[in-house]
Amino acid sequence: MSKIPKVQTKDQKSKTRRRSEDKFAYRTVVISTVLSLIFFVVSLLFNIGIISIFADINLIFDIIDILIKVIAILLFFLFMMISIGNYKEMTGKPLGWKEFLLLFILSIGQTLLNYIVFIFTFIGLLLILVYLYLVQEI
Amino acid sequence: MQNNLKLFISVQIDLEVDAHNSTEFIGLLISNSSSENQEDFIDAKIVQFSDIQTDEFVYLDYVINNSLFLNDTIYHGEGAGKLDGKVSVYEFSIPINQPLTDGYEEDALLEYGESYSINITYGKTPLYPEGIIKSEIVLINIFKPSEEEQLLIDVILLVLTIIVFSIVGILSGYYIYKLFKLKEKMERLRS
């Protein structure tokens, strides 16, 4: 048999693998976006005070309230970062510091009504940034 | 509204043009606390029209003693009234945090950080209290100057937070649109 069909089969396999990878990457982008939007809605409800079921009851409920607010913002930031990172990778462009900075400001901007939430979210965001930086370096 | 020295109250009466009486009045009966008991309303500030069509009015300051309205020796505060179409508008400015001298002993002393019941009364004839035909009690909180500033800061922060959430919402919508476009592009490349 000639070698030409073998090359075609290899190309086809490569194409199929590429499509499968793209499909997987796109699915990751979509899932990350959906998760980040869910946490955005949770952050909206709790940080603006539309839901205040845990606020001003006692110290434990206050801590739960703060934890929900902080975790919602941090997970929004993390999943949106993953989503944008994968999206940029799919479109062949690098993730720049402008996107990082914008997302950082928009995340910290959600905490303006509570200085305790602001402090913990700021620390949390810095830790996530350090973690992402170290993961990239490795 | 209030500033460090005065409490400002505006009252609007929206009636059919013919329903306004030429000698109507609005009175603020001020309690010495948040109590709504009749005997606790010790001070009255009244804007009394003598002819509403020509915007002629007088501002009156009374001390209330056992439901008797007695003229204050010194009037404190200011009041004005104006008929504007169907709406008659009354505005009062009442001193707050004043010392118990200079005739202020005849007034309800409004102190920072306290709440006071104010009975807003409406009447058509210049007789007090007989001329009162409608009244509504409201509770007014007198903020400390610092509290008022804090309230302003809170409002600014709330507005900023809403702006941030709105921006995130708009950018998320745009991002989802871009994701759909990317999916379409991927499907085109596949076929």
Q: Residue B180: its chain A contacts at CB < 8 A?
A: none
Q: Choose the mutation target among A112, A113, A114, A117 for the interface with B, i.e. most B CBs under 10 Å.
A: A112
Task: Identify the CATH number of the domain in which residue B29 sits.
Answer: 2.60.40.1190
Cβ contact, residue pair B168, A90, below 8 Å:
no
Could you read off the pLDDT tens digit of each residue along chain B, which spans 191 residues? 887 788 899 998 888 777 788 889 999 999 988 888 888 898 999 999 988 888 899 999 999 888 888 888 888 889 999 888 888 899 999 988 877 666 677 888 888 888 899 999 999 888 888 888 888 999 998 888 776 677 888 889 999 999 999 999 999 999 999 999 988 888 887 77
**How far does A116 lie from chain B, in Å, by closest CA?**
14
Whether B50 and B29 map to the same domain: the answer is yes
Q: Does A114 touch chain B (CB under 8 A)?
A: no
Strand order, beta sheet including B6-14 = B6-14, B87-95, B78-84
pTM of the model: 0.56
Locate A82 and state its tokens: 């993953």
Predicted ipTM? 0.83
Structure tokens of A84? Answer: 């944008």
Instruction: Compute the count of residue pairs across chains A and B with CB atoms less than 8 Å apart.
Output: 51
Question: Is residue B110 situated within a structural domain?
Answer: yes
> B33 lies in a domain?
yes
In a domain? residue B1: no
Burial B173-187 (b: 16+ CB within 10 A, else e): eebeeebeebeeebe
Residues with Cβ within 8 Å of B25's Cβ and at least 6 positions away in sequence, in order, are: B46, B47, B48, B49, B122, B123, B124, B126, B131
Residues 72-111, chain A: which have Cβ within 8 Å of B?
Answer: 83-84, 87, 90-91, 106, 109-110
Residues of A in contact with B182 (CB under 8 A): 26, 87, 90-91
Q: For testing the chain A interface, which of B165, B168, B174, B187 should be mutated: the one with the most A CBs within 10 Å?
A: B168
Asked whether residue B110 falls in the same domain as residue B169, the answer is no
Whether residue B31 is found in the same domain as residue B111 = yes
Cβ distance A87 to B179 less than 8 Å, yes or no, reads: yes
Q: What percent of chain A has pLDDT over 70?
A: 82
Number of domains in chain B: 2
Selecting from B161, B171, B186 the residue whose C-beta is nearest the C-beta of A110 gives B161
- Domain segments of chain A: what residues? 30-137
Q: Is the pLDDT of residue A8 over 70?
A: no
Segment A14-59, tens digit of pLDDT: 666 766 777 888 899 999 999 999 999 999 999 988 887 776 667 8
Model pLDDT for residues B127-157, shown as the tens digit of each residue? 888 888 888 999 998 888 776 677 888 889 9
CA distance B172 to A52: 25
**Do residues B14 and B72 both lie within one domain?**
yes
The answer to the question of residue B136 being in a domain is yes
State which residues form the domain around B120: 6-143
Q: In this structure, is residue B109 part of a structural domain?
A: yes
- Beta-carbon separation of B186 and A26 below 8 A: yes
Q: Indicate the residue of A30, A106, A112 with minimum beta-carbon distance to B179.
A: A30
The reply to whether B40 and B100 lie within a common domain is: yes
